[in-house]
Amino acid sequence: MTKKFGYYLFALVYYLCRLLPVKQKRVFCIVTHDDGEGSNVAIAVRALKKQDEEYTFSYLTKRDTRAVKSLSGLKTVLDFFFRKPLELARAEVVLMDNVFLPYAYLRRRKGTKVIQLWHGTGTIKKFGQDVNTGYLKTIEKKANANITHLIVNSPSIKKVYGGAFGVPEDFIYPIGLPKTDELLRRMKSAEAAGKWSDKEYIYQKYHIPSDKKLILYAPTFRDTPEQNPRLIELVKELSHELSEEYCIGLRLHPHIAKSFQTEELGNQICQMSFEKDVNTVLLAADLLITDYSSIVFEYCLTKRPMIFYAYDYDDFSDNGRGFYYDYESFVPGPVAYQCSEVVEIIKNKAFELYRIDDFIHRNYIYTDGNATERLIELIKSQQ
């Protein structure tokens, strides 16, 4: 009931502010998932600023939503319910990286572009309309009805994203996402210079000896809370079984990572969950271990080894979110179900690297590093 009241208050102010004219070249950014400098929205904003100084920007961040949920800080709460609806109502362009549920009670203005730059570069597991139920499913679909442009990497994913967001495929644009531009640019620069500054940064910050290889362990978020602590035990087991040649960088969902103290992890495990720029972590890692996380859609561009440690595959498939594809044939690397299998794959270097190129081909129409330029053209066009 409290949330509904908040949605109605936001909507009331929004509709009153719709009496005012739209501000040309005004961009409202909803960054409630990733507000880092390497995010899709942040990269798009920098590109717009560089091309045209007349663009102006305002933001609604996860800090704002947290403050409202906890009712901490009267100024922030008042700002959320009175200033943010004004800025949204007068925006010519809306850039967002997550579902914004107050949109379920609003209707976008004619001519306003609402561009969904989803924080995941692709997906293995089901999400959105394909897993939500009840009230959440209903209002999420209403909120997404305001989307005019849903940006993805490839035509092959249009059907999946159309169903997950509940939007027509005509509204889905396979032009690529800005954050992959940044990853590709830094890779190209490092290869040309023969110097991987991201790796140097991570190794120095976390005091990793230069002779060790870095394994990035990035499991997906589990919806059932009691499943998440188990991840720590699994990574400790991996650390114990691996040779001293390796160090493990742990990349957990922030909601899980904040529950664990660094000293719990041990000397061979580094807590990298709070690094703002995920590209830095990706470029520092020699090997990725994940399960069903969308991080694979970015890491695959490095063409480095990946192992898919699906320790709870049956439970996740039958009782969890489930998958859009046949898991074992879809992922670009070997699948392991036990810690011993992971260790054996690493020991024998049985990484099945040949699967990576095919994975990239299926999930990217462009790898030219120009996705941001295509997005800016779309923003400025009449399309």
DSSP states of 30-82 as a string?
Answer: EESS--STTSHHHHHHHHHHHH-TT-EEEEEEHHHHHHHHHT--HHHHHIIII
Asked if the 2-176+368-380 domain carries CATH number 3.30.70.2520, the reply is: no
The number of C-alpha atoms within 13 Å of 148 and in the hemisphere containing its C-beta is: 17
Report the distance separating Cα 163 and Cα 324, nearest Å. Answer: 11
Q: Domain boundaries in the chain?
A: 2-176+368-380, 183-363
Positive/negative CA dihedral, 101, 104, 107, 111: positive
For the whole model, what pTM was predicted? Answer: 0.92
In one-letter notation, the amino acid at residue 270 is: C
The pLDDT confidence band at residue 259, using thresholds 50, 70 and 90, is: low
Cβ neighbours of residue 193 under 8 Å, at least 6 residues apart?
Answer: none
Mean pLDDT, to the nearest integer, of 77-88? Answer: 95
Q: Do domains 2-176+368-380 and 183-363 have the same CATH topology?
A: yes
What is the tens place of the pLDDT at every residue in 153-163? 999 999 999 99
Q: At CA 352, angle to CA 252 and CA 183, rounded to 5?
A: 50
What is the tens place of the pLDDT at every residue in 14-55? 999 999 999 999 999 999 988 888 899 999 999 999 999 999
Q: Does the pLDDT of residue 127 top 80, yes or no?
A: yes
Report the distance separating Cα 172 and Cα 116, nearest Å. Answer: 9
What mean pLDDT value characterizes the chain? 91
Mean pLDDT, to the nearest integer, of 93-116? Answer: 96
Torsion of CA 14, 15, 21, 26, to 10 degrees: 30
Q: Does the pLDDT of residue 263 top 70, yes or no?
A: no
Phi-psi region of 261 (alpha: psi -120 to 50; beta: other; left: phi over 0): beta
Q: Of the ranges 52-66, 195-209, 211-225, 321-335, which one carries the lowest mean pLDDT score?
A: 211-225
Q: Does the pLDDT of residue 229 top 60, yes or no?
A: no
Of 2 and 308, the structure prediction assigns the larger pLDDT to 308
**pLDDT value at residue 37:** 84
Say if residues 154 and 364 touch (Cβ distance below 8 Å). yes
Q: Does the pLDDT of residue 270 top 60, yes or no?
A: yes
What is the tens place of the pLDDT at every residue in 320-349? 889 999 999 999 999 999 999 999 999 999
Q: Of the ranges 118-132, 183-197, 242-256, 263-277, which one carries the lowest mean pLDDT score?
A: 263-277
Report the distance separating Cα 305 and Cα 299, nearest Å. Answer: 9
* 128: number of Cβ within 10 Å: 20
Report the distance separating Cα 162 and Cα 152, nearest Å. Answer: 11
Q: Of the ranges 14-18, 38-42, 145-149, 241-245, which one carries the lowest mean pLDDT score?
A: 241-245
Class level of CATH domain 183-363 = alpha beta
- With a pLDDT cut of 90, the percent of the chain lying above it is 75
